[in-house]
Chains A and B, each alone.
Chain A
Protein backbone atom coordinates (compact mmCIF):
# COMPACT_ATOMS: atom_id res chain seq x y z
CA UNK A 1 0.00 0.00 0.00
CA UNK A 2 1.02 3.58 -0.53
CA UNK A 3 2.89 5.29 2.30
CA UNK A 4 0.64 5.53 5.31
CA UNK A 5 1.73 8.56 7.31
CA UNK A 6 1.00 7.86 10.97
CA UNK A 7 2.52 11.20 11.88
CA UNK A 8 -0.33 12.98 10.13
CA UNK A 9 -2.61 11.48 12.77
CA UNK A 10 -0.37 11.77 15.82
CA UNK A 11 0.46 15.39 15.09
CA UNK A 12 -3.22 16.29 15.08
CA UNK A 13 -4.41 14.23 18.01
CA UNK A 14 -4.94 17.19 20.39
CA UNK A 15 -7.08 18.94 17.80
CA UNK A 16 -9.07 15.79 17.07
CA UNK A 17 -9.57 15.22 20.79
CA UNK A 18 -11.17 18.65 21.07
CA UNK A 19 -13.54 17.65 18.30
CA UNK A 20 -14.34 14.39 20.08
CA UNK A 21 -15.16 16.30 23.27
CA UNK A 22 -17.64 18.39 21.33
CA UNK A 23 -19.17 15.24 19.78
CA UNK A 24 -19.57 13.67 23.21
CA UNK A 25 -21.01 16.84 24.72
CA UNK A 26 -23.52 17.17 21.89
CA UNK A 27 -24.46 13.48 22.20
CA UNK A 28 -24.95 13.77 25.97
CA UNK A 29 -27.05 16.93 25.88
CA UNK A 30 -29.09 15.78 22.88
CA UNK A 31 -29.73 12.37 24.45
CA UNK A 32 -30.80 13.87 27.77
CA UNK A 33 -33.07 16.42 26.12
CA UNK A 34 -34.65 14.02 23.68
CA UNK A 35 -35.26 11.29 26.27
CA UNK A 36 -37.18 13.82 28.41
CA UNK A 37 -39.12 15.17 25.44
CA UNK A 38 -39.63 11.65 24.07
CA UNK A 39 -41.08 10.48 27.39
CA UNK A 40 -43.48 13.44 27.44
CA UNK A 41 -44.54 12.60 23.88
CA UNK A 42 -45.02 8.95 24.83
CA UNK A 43 -47.22 9.95 27.77
CA UNK A 44 -49.20 12.19 25.42
CA UNK A 45 -49.71 9.34 22.96
CA UNK A 46 -50.94 7.09 25.75
CA UNK A 47 -52.92 9.74 27.62
CA UNK A 48 -56.32 8.94 26.10
CA UNK A 49 -56.88 12.66 25.50
CA UNK A 50 -57.58 12.97 21.82
CA UNK A 51 -55.73 16.25 21.22
CA UNK A 52 -52.58 15.06 23.01
CA UNK A 53 -52.67 11.73 21.19
CA UNK A 54 -52.95 13.53 17.89
CA UNK A 55 -50.01 15.84 18.67
CA UNK A 56 -47.82 12.96 19.80
CA UNK A 57 -48.62 10.80 16.78
CA UNK A 58 -48.20 13.67 14.33
CA UNK A 59 -44.84 14.60 15.86
CA UNK A 60 -43.49 11.08 15.62
CA UNK A 61 -44.73 10.43 12.08
CA UNK A 62 -43.58 13.81 10.82
CA UNK A 63 -40.04 13.68 12.12
CA UNK A 64 -39.59 10.04 11.22
CA UNK A 65 -40.37 10.80 7.59
CA UNK A 66 -37.65 13.47 7.36
CA UNK A 67 -33.90 13.01 6.95
CA UNK A 68 -31.92 14.29 9.93
CA UNK A 69 -29.82 16.42 7.58
CA UNK A 70 -32.90 18.37 6.53
CA UNK A 71 -33.79 18.98 10.18
CA UNK A 72 -30.27 20.22 10.88
CA UNK A 73 -30.45 22.62 7.94
CA UNK A 74 -33.90 23.81 9.02
CA UNK A 75 -32.78 24.80 12.47
CA UNK A 76 -29.47 26.21 11.35
CA UNK A 77 -31.48 28.51 9.13
CA UNK A 78 -34.54 29.02 11.30
CA UNK A 79 -33.27 29.54 14.86
CA UNK A 80 -31.23 32.72 14.18
CA UNK A 81 -34.20 34.14 12.29
CA UNK A 82 -36.68 33.48 15.08
CA UNK A 83 -34.51 34.83 17.92
CA UNK A 84 -33.28 37.73 15.74
CA UNK A 85 -29.61 37.34 16.43
CA UNK A 86 -26.64 35.18 15.54
CA UNK A 87 -26.80 31.82 17.24
CA UNK A 88 -23.97 29.37 17.75
CA UNK A 89 -24.23 26.43 15.33
CA UNK A 90 -23.98 24.21 18.41
CA UNK A 91 -27.24 25.47 19.88
CA UNK A 92 -29.22 25.28 16.68
CA UNK A 93 -27.90 21.76 16.00
CA UNK A 94 -28.75 20.75 19.58
CA UNK A 95 -32.34 21.95 19.21
CA UNK A 96 -32.66 20.08 15.91
CA UNK A 97 -31.29 16.88 17.43
CA UNK A 98 -33.57 17.04 20.49
CA UNK A 99 -36.75 17.58 18.46
CA UNK A 100 -35.78 14.95 15.87
CA UNK A 101 -34.50 12.20 18.15
CA UNK A 102 -37.42 12.70 20.56
CA UNK A 103 -39.61 11.05 17.92
CA UNK A 104 -37.46 7.91 18.10
CA UNK A 105 -37.08 7.91 21.89
CA UNK A 106 -40.85 8.43 22.16
CA UNK A 107 -41.53 5.11 20.43
CA UNK A 108 -39.06 3.35 22.71
CA UNK A 109 -40.59 4.83 25.85
CA UNK A 110 -44.08 4.10 24.60
CA UNK A 111 -43.38 0.41 24.18
CA UNK A 112 -41.61 0.52 27.55
CA UNK A 113 -44.68 1.95 29.25
CA UNK A 114 -46.93 -0.53 27.43
CA UNK A 115 -44.72 -3.37 28.67
CA UNK A 116 -45.63 -2.56 32.29
CA UNK A 117 -48.73 -4.52 33.24
CA UNK A 118 -51.82 -2.41 33.77
CA UNK A 119 -52.19 -3.81 37.26
CA UNK A 120 -49.20 -1.72 38.31
CA UNK A 121 -50.96 1.51 37.39
CA UNK A 122 -54.21 0.34 38.96
CA UNK A 123 -52.37 -0.55 42.14
CA UNK A 124 -50.96 2.97 42.15
CA UNK A 125 -54.41 4.51 41.78
CA UNK A 126 -55.81 2.15 44.45
CA UNK A 127 -53.15 3.47 46.82
CA UNK A 128 -54.55 6.94 46.22
CA UNK A 129 -51.73 8.20 43.99
CA UNK A 130 -52.61 10.71 41.33
CA UNK A 131 -51.82 10.13 37.64
CA UNK A 132 -48.61 12.13 37.86
CA UNK A 133 -47.49 10.27 40.98
CA UNK A 134 -48.35 6.85 39.52
CA UNK A 135 -46.26 7.64 36.47
CA UNK A 136 -43.45 9.24 38.44
CA UNK A 137 -43.06 6.58 41.14
CA UNK A 138 -44.52 3.37 39.67
CA UNK A 139 -44.68 3.12 35.89
CA UNK A 140 -41.85 5.23 34.48
CA UNK A 141 -39.02 3.85 36.66
CA UNK A 142 -39.89 0.32 35.57
CA UNK A 143 -40.41 1.29 31.95
CA UNK A 144 -37.08 3.09 31.96
CA UNK A 145 -35.28 0.11 33.45
CA UNK A 146 -36.79 -2.33 30.94
CA UNK A 147 -35.93 -0.09 28.02
CA UNK A 148 -32.45 0.90 29.18
CA UNK A 149 -30.61 -1.29 26.63
CA UNK A 150 -32.71 0.02 23.74
CA UNK A 151 -32.34 3.61 24.95
CA UNK A 152 -28.58 3.13 25.02
CA UNK A 153 -28.56 1.57 21.55
CA UNK A 154 -30.48 4.58 20.26
CA UNK A 155 -27.93 6.82 21.98
CA UNK A 156 -25.13 5.02 20.12
CA UNK A 157 -27.00 5.78 16.89
CA UNK A 158 -27.35 9.38 18.06
CA UNK A 159 -23.60 9.53 18.65
CA UNK A 160 -23.02 8.39 15.06
CA UNK A 161 -25.60 10.89 13.84
CA UNK A 162 -23.81 13.80 15.49
CA UNK A 163 -21.20 13.45 12.74
CA UNK A 164 -23.78 15.08 10.45
CA UNK A 165 -23.14 18.50 12.04
CA UNK A 166 -20.31 18.50 9.52
CA UNK A 167 -22.75 20.12 7.08
CA UNK A 168 -23.09 23.24 9.24
CA UNK A 169 -19.37 23.35 9.98
CA UNK A 170 -19.59 22.65 13.68
CA UNK A 171 -16.15 21.38 14.78
CA UNK A 172 -17.06 17.93 16.11
CA UNK A 173 -14.77 14.90 15.68
CA UNK A 174 -15.81 14.29 12.07
CA UNK A 175 -15.49 17.93 11.02
CA UNK A 176 -12.09 18.25 12.72
CA UNK A 177 -10.87 15.17 10.90
CA UNK A 178 -12.08 16.53 7.56
CA UNK A 179 -10.46 19.90 8.26
CA UNK A 180 -7.11 18.29 9.06
CA UNK A 181 -7.37 15.84 6.17
CA UNK A 182 -7.92 18.59 3.66
CA UNK A 183 -5.31 20.95 5.12
CA UNK A 184 -2.58 18.29 5.17
CA UNK A 185 -3.93 16.41 2.09
CA UNK A 186 -3.93 13.23 4.15
CA UNK A 187 -7.40 11.94 3.31
CA UNK A 188 -6.51 8.25 3.45
CA UNK A 189 -4.93 8.42 6.92
CA UNK A 190 -7.46 10.69 8.56
CA UNK A 191 -10.61 9.05 7.22
CA UNK A 192 -9.35 5.58 8.05
CA UNK A 193 -8.48 6.76 11.54
CA UNK A 194 -11.89 8.40 11.97
CA UNK A 195 -13.66 5.22 10.91
CA UNK A 196 -11.54 3.14 13.32
CA UNK A 197 -12.22 5.45 16.26
CA UNK A 198 -15.97 5.51 15.65
CA UNK A 199 -15.96 1.76 15.16
CA UNK A 200 -14.05 1.07 18.37
CA UNK A 201 -16.31 3.34 20.42
CA UNK A 202 -19.61 2.14 18.98
CA UNK A 203 -18.63 -1.52 18.95
CA UNK A 204 -17.43 -1.31 22.54
CA UNK A 205 -20.57 0.48 23.64
CA UNK A 206 -22.88 -1.98 21.91
CA UNK A 207 -20.99 -4.93 23.42
CA UNK A 208 -21.63 -3.35 26.83
CA UNK A 209 -25.31 -2.92 25.99
CA UNK A 210 -25.55 -6.61 25.08
CA UNK A 211 -24.16 -7.58 28.47
CA UNK A 212 -26.53 -5.19 30.20
CA UNK A 213 -29.43 -6.72 28.34
CA UNK A 214 -28.51 -10.17 29.56
CA UNK A 215 -28.31 -8.86 33.12
CA UNK A 216 -31.71 -7.17 32.97
CA UNK A 217 -33.56 -10.05 31.34
CA UNK A 218 -32.07 -12.74 33.54
Chain B
Protein backbone atom coordinates (compact mmCIF):
# COMPACT_ATOMS: atom_id res chain seq x y z
CA UNK B 1 0.00 0.00 0.00
CA UNK B 2 1.63 3.22 -1.12
CA UNK B 3 0.36 6.29 0.60
CA UNK B 4 1.92 9.58 1.66
CA UNK B 5 0.87 10.12 5.22
CA UNK B 6 0.36 13.70 6.28
CA UNK B 7 -1.62 14.00 9.47
CA UNK B 8 -0.52 17.60 9.82
CA UNK B 9 -2.81 18.53 6.93
CA UNK B 10 -5.80 18.37 9.28
CA UNK B 11 -4.42 21.22 11.35
CA UNK B 12 -3.43 23.47 8.47
CA UNK B 13 -5.35 26.39 7.04
CA UNK B 14 -8.00 26.22 5.72
CA UNK B 15 -8.68 22.55 6.38
CA UNK B 16 -8.84 22.83 10.16
CA UNK B 17 -11.39 25.59 9.85
CA UNK B 18 -13.41 23.50 7.40
CA UNK B 19 -13.67 20.74 9.98
CA UNK B 20 -14.74 23.19 12.68
CA UNK B 21 -17.39 24.67 10.37
CA UNK B 22 -18.51 21.12 9.63
CA UNK B 23 -18.91 20.33 13.33
CA UNK B 24 -20.90 23.54 13.77
CA UNK B 25 -23.28 22.71 10.92
CA UNK B 26 -23.72 19.12 12.10
CA UNK B 27 -24.58 20.26 15.62
CA UNK B 28 -26.89 23.07 14.44
CA UNK B 29 -28.79 20.86 12.01
CA UNK B 30 -29.10 17.93 14.42
CA UNK B 31 -30.18 19.97 17.43
CA UNK B 32 -32.77 22.06 15.58
CA UNK B 33 -34.07 18.93 13.87
CA UNK B 34 -34.19 17.22 17.26
CA UNK B 35 -36.36 20.00 18.71
CA UNK B 36 -38.78 19.56 15.81
CA UNK B 37 -38.66 15.76 16.04
CA UNK B 38 -39.23 15.78 19.78
CA UNK B 39 -42.24 18.12 19.73
CA UNK B 40 -43.89 16.72 16.60
CA UNK B 41 -43.08 13.16 17.64
CA UNK B 42 -44.60 13.71 21.09
CA UNK B 43 -47.76 15.04 19.50
CA UNK B 44 -48.07 12.14 17.07
CA UNK B 45 -47.16 9.60 19.74
CA UNK B 46 -49.80 10.92 22.13
CA UNK B 47 -52.36 10.95 19.31
CA UNK B 48 -51.71 7.24 18.78
CA UNK B 49 -52.70 6.51 22.38
CA UNK B 50 -55.86 8.63 22.55
CA UNK B 51 -59.20 6.85 22.96
CA UNK B 52 -60.70 8.45 19.81
CA UNK B 53 -60.26 6.64 16.54
CA UNK B 54 -59.53 9.58 14.21
CA UNK B 55 -56.38 10.90 15.94
CA UNK B 56 -55.11 7.34 16.26
CA UNK B 57 -55.53 6.79 12.54
CA UNK B 58 -53.83 10.08 11.68
CA UNK B 59 -50.92 9.22 13.98
CA UNK B 60 -50.57 5.74 12.49
CA UNK B 61 -50.67 7.11 8.93
CA UNK B 62 -47.97 9.64 9.76
CA UNK B 63 -45.67 6.99 11.17
CA UNK B 64 -46.16 4.58 8.26
CA UNK B 65 -45.66 7.30 5.67
CA UNK B 66 -42.38 8.58 7.04
CA UNK B 67 -40.98 5.22 8.06
CA UNK B 68 -41.42 3.52 4.72
CA UNK B 69 -39.66 6.01 2.46
CA UNK B 70 -35.84 6.17 2.52
CA UNK B 71 -34.52 9.27 4.24
CA UNK B 72 -32.50 10.24 1.17
CA UNK B 73 -35.66 10.31 -0.96
CA UNK B 74 -37.36 12.45 1.67
CA UNK B 75 -34.38 14.80 1.67
CA UNK B 76 -34.69 15.29 -2.10
CA UNK B 77 -38.43 15.78 -1.87
CA UNK B 78 -38.10 18.49 0.79
CA UNK B 79 -35.41 20.28 -1.14
CA UNK B 80 -36.45 19.90 -4.78
CA UNK B 81 -40.15 19.03 -4.82
CA UNK B 82 -41.66 20.95 -1.89
CA UNK B 83 -41.16 24.43 -3.42
CA UNK B 84 -43.16 23.24 -6.46
CA UNK B 85 -46.03 21.79 -4.45
CA UNK B 86 -46.78 24.68 -2.12
CA UNK B 87 -48.77 27.76 -3.28
CA UNK B 88 -46.91 29.92 -5.80
CA UNK B 89 -46.06 32.82 -3.50
CA UNK B 90 -44.67 30.58 -0.80
CA UNK B 91 -42.77 28.57 -3.40
CA UNK B 92 -41.20 31.71 -4.78
CA UNK B 93 -40.24 32.84 -1.29
CA UNK B 94 -38.65 29.45 -0.55
CA UNK B 95 -36.62 29.55 -3.74
CA UNK B 96 -35.51 33.17 -3.53
CA UNK B 97 -35.59 34.56 -0.02
CA UNK B 98 -35.63 31.73 2.47
CA UNK B 99 -32.40 31.94 4.50
CA UNK B 100 -30.12 28.87 4.33
CA UNK B 101 -32.42 26.87 2.02
CA UNK B 102 -30.29 23.71 2.23
CA UNK B 103 -30.01 23.65 6.00
CA UNK B 104 -33.69 24.55 6.47
CA UNK B 105 -34.80 21.72 4.18
CA UNK B 106 -32.46 19.32 5.94
CA UNK B 107 -33.80 20.31 9.36
CA UNK B 108 -37.41 19.91 8.24
CA UNK B 109 -36.62 16.57 6.63
CA UNK B 110 -34.67 15.12 9.56
CA UNK B 111 -37.17 16.53 12.05
CA UNK B 112 -40.30 15.15 10.45
CA UNK B 113 -38.64 11.78 9.73
CA UNK B 114 -37.29 11.34 13.24
CA UNK B 115 -40.64 12.49 14.64
CA UNK B 116 -42.12 9.24 13.32
CA UNK B 117 -39.51 7.27 15.28
CA UNK B 118 -39.93 9.41 18.41
CA UNK B 119 -43.70 8.93 18.14
CA UNK B 120 -43.25 5.17 18.33
CA UNK B 121 -41.12 5.51 21.46
CA UNK B 122 -43.62 7.88 23.10
CA UNK B 123 -46.45 5.52 22.27
CA UNK B 124 -44.53 2.55 23.67
CA UNK B 125 -43.73 4.51 26.83
CA UNK B 126 -47.34 5.52 27.43
CA UNK B 127 -48.64 2.05 26.60
CA UNK B 128 -46.19 0.48 29.04
CA UNK B 129 -47.96 2.25 31.91
CA UNK B 130 -50.49 -0.18 33.41
CA UNK B 131 -54.03 0.60 32.23
CA UNK B 132 -55.18 0.87 35.83
CA UNK B 133 -53.35 4.16 36.18
CA UNK B 134 -55.27 5.81 33.36
CA UNK B 135 -58.51 4.41 34.78
CA UNK B 136 -57.61 5.60 38.26
CA UNK B 137 -57.02 9.08 36.88
CA UNK B 138 -60.36 9.11 35.09
CA UNK B 139 -62.10 7.72 38.16
CA UNK B 140 -60.72 10.61 40.20
CA UNK B 141 -62.54 12.94 37.84
CA UNK B 142 -59.60 14.08 35.72
CA UNK B 143 -60.29 14.95 32.11
CA UNK B 144 -58.40 13.14 29.36
CA UNK B 145 -55.92 15.98 28.89
CA UNK B 146 -55.39 16.12 32.64
CA UNK B 147 -54.69 12.39 32.72
CA UNK B 148 -51.99 12.99 30.12
CA UNK B 149 -50.67 16.15 31.72
CA UNK B 150 -50.36 14.89 35.29
CA UNK B 151 -50.07 11.15 34.86
CA UNK B 152 -49.20 9.51 31.56
CA UNK B 153 -46.70 12.02 30.19
CA UNK B 154 -44.62 12.55 33.36
CA UNK B 155 -44.37 8.78 33.89
CA UNK B 156 -44.11 7.76 30.25
CA UNK B 157 -41.31 10.18 29.40
CA UNK B 158 -39.20 9.03 32.31
CA UNK B 159 -39.52 5.48 31.04
CA UNK B 160 -38.34 6.31 27.53
CA UNK B 161 -35.19 8.29 28.31
CA UNK B 162 -32.84 5.49 27.09
CA UNK B 163 -34.50 4.97 23.68
CA UNK B 164 -34.74 8.75 23.25
CA UNK B 165 -30.96 8.94 23.65
CA UNK B 166 -30.49 6.56 20.77
CA UNK B 167 -33.02 8.51 18.69
CA UNK B 168 -30.96 11.64 19.23
CA UNK B 169 -27.85 9.77 18.15
CA UNK B 170 -29.76 8.57 15.08
CA UNK B 171 -30.63 12.13 14.08
CA UNK B 172 -27.01 13.14 14.69
CA UNK B 173 -25.73 10.38 12.41
CA UNK B 174 -28.47 10.94 9.82
CA UNK B 175 -27.59 14.63 9.62
CA UNK B 176 -24.72 13.47 7.39
CA UNK B 177 -27.32 12.92 4.63
CA UNK B 178 -27.69 16.69 4.46
CA UNK B 179 -24.51 16.73 2.36
CA UNK B 180 -26.51 15.38 -0.59
CA UNK B 181 -28.35 18.69 -0.82
CA UNK B 182 -25.27 20.78 -0.07
CA UNK B 183 -25.13 21.43 3.67
CA UNK B 184 -21.51 21.77 4.72
CA UNK B 185 -21.56 19.37 7.66
CA UNK B 186 -18.67 17.24 8.93
CA UNK B 187 -18.73 14.55 6.29
CA UNK B 188 -19.08 17.07 3.46
CA UNK B 189 -16.00 18.91 4.77
CA UNK B 190 -14.05 15.66 5.12
CA UNK B 191 -14.85 14.80 1.53
CA UNK B 192 -13.89 18.26 0.39
CA UNK B 193 -10.54 17.92 2.14
CA UNK B 194 -10.04 14.60 0.35
CA UNK B 195 -10.86 16.19 -3.00
CA UNK B 196 -8.45 19.06 -2.47
CA UNK B 197 -5.53 17.24 -0.89
CA UNK B 198 -5.98 13.53 -1.75
CA UNK B 199 -5.42 12.85 1.95
CA UNK B 200 -8.59 10.79 2.24
CA UNK B 201 -7.27 8.61 5.02
CA UNK B 202 -6.65 11.56 7.31
CA UNK B 203 -9.87 13.35 6.36
CA UNK B 204 -12.14 10.36 6.95
CA UNK B 205 -10.29 9.46 10.15
CA UNK B 206 -10.99 12.98 11.42
CA UNK B 207 -14.70 12.57 10.60
CA UNK B 208 -14.77 9.15 12.27
CA UNK B 209 -13.16 10.50 15.44
CA UNK B 210 -15.60 13.42 15.53
CA UNK B 211 -18.64 11.13 15.24
CA UNK B 212 -17.35 8.64 17.82
CA UNK B 213 -16.38 11.44 20.22
CA UNK B 214 -19.79 13.15 20.07
CA UNK B 215 -21.50 9.78 20.52
CA UNK B 216 -19.39 9.01 23.60
CA UNK B 217 -20.13 12.44 25.11
CA UNK B 218 -23.88 12.11 24.51
CA UNK B 219 -23.92 8.58 25.94
CA UNK B 220 -21.98 9.71 29.04
CA UNK B 221 -24.26 12.70 29.65
CA UNK B 222 -27.42 10.69 29.10
CA UNK B 223 -26.22 7.93 31.45
CA UNK B 224 -26.35 10.54 34.22
CA UNK B 225 -29.73 11.83 33.09
CA UNK B 226 -31.00 8.25 33.08
CA UNK B 227 -29.97 7.74 36.68
CA UNK B 228 -31.62 11.02 37.71
CA UNK B 229 -34.87 10.38 35.89
CA UNK B 230 -35.23 6.68 36.68
CA UNK B 231 -38.49 5.99 38.48
CA UNK B 232 -37.51 4.12 41.64
CA UNK B 233 -38.70 0.54 41.63
CA UNK B 234 -40.31 0.89 38.21
CA UNK B 235 -39.68 -1.52 35.35
CA UNK B 236 -36.64 -3.64 34.72
CA UNK B 237 -33.11 -2.42 34.32
CA UNK B 238 -31.91 -1.98 30.79
CA UNK B 239 -30.18 -5.05 29.39
CA UNK B 240 -27.55 -3.47 27.23
Binding site secondary structure of chain A: helix
Q: Which residues of A contact B28 (CB under 8 A)?
A: none
Tell me whether B17 is interfacial, beta carbon within 8 Å: no
CB pair A160–B77 under 8 Å, yes or no, is no
A206→B68 CA distance, assembly (Å)? 9
Q: A69-B187, A166-B180, A192-B81 are in contact. Are A160 and B208 (CB under 8 A)?
A: no
Tell me whether B236 is interfacial, beta carbon within 8 Å: no
Tell me whether A81 is interfacial, beta carbon within 8 Å: yes
Q: A163-B73, A191-B81 are in contact. Are A199 and B176 (CB under 8 A)?
A: no
A151→B200 CA distance, assembly (Å)? 34
- Identify which of B74, B76, B190, B194 gathers the most chain A CB atoms within 10 Å of its CB: B76
Tell me whether A198 is interfacial, beta carbon within 8 Å: yes
Q: A77-B194, A84-B1, A199-B68 are in contact. Are A66 and B173 (CB under 8 A)?
A: yes
Q: Which residues of B contact A161 (CB under 8 A)?
A: 70
Tell me whether A174 is interfacial, beta carbon within 8 Å: yes
Tell me whether A74 is interfacial, beta carbon within 8 Å: yes
A195→B73 CA distance, assembly (Å)? 6
Interface size on B, residues (CB 8 A): 40
**B50-87 Cβ-contact flags toward A at 8 Å (1 or 0):** 00000000000000110111111110110011001100
- Give, as a whole number of angstroms, the nearest-CB distance from A215 to chain B: 21
CB pair B204–A77 under 8 Å, yes or no, is yes
How many chain A residues sit at the interface, stated as a range, is: 35 or more
A187→B181 CA distance, assembly (Å)? 14
Q: Which residues of B contact A70 (CB under 8 A)?
A: 176, 187, 190, 204, 207-208, 211
Q: Which of A58-76 contact B (CB under 8 A)?
A: 62, 65-70, 73-74
Tell me whether A127 is interfacial, beta carbon within 8 Å: no
Q: Which residues of B contact A192 (CB under 8 A)?
A: 77, 81
Tell me whether B153 is interfacial, beta carbon within 8 Å: no
Which residues of B does A touch, CB under 8 Å? 1, 3, 64-65, 67-74, 76-77, 80-81, 84-85, 169, 173-177, 179-180, 187, 190-191, 194, 200-201, 204, 207-208, 211-212, 215-216, 239
Q: 7 nearest interchain CB pairs? A: A65-B215, A202-B68, A160-B70, A67-B173, A67-B176, A163-B70, A77-B200
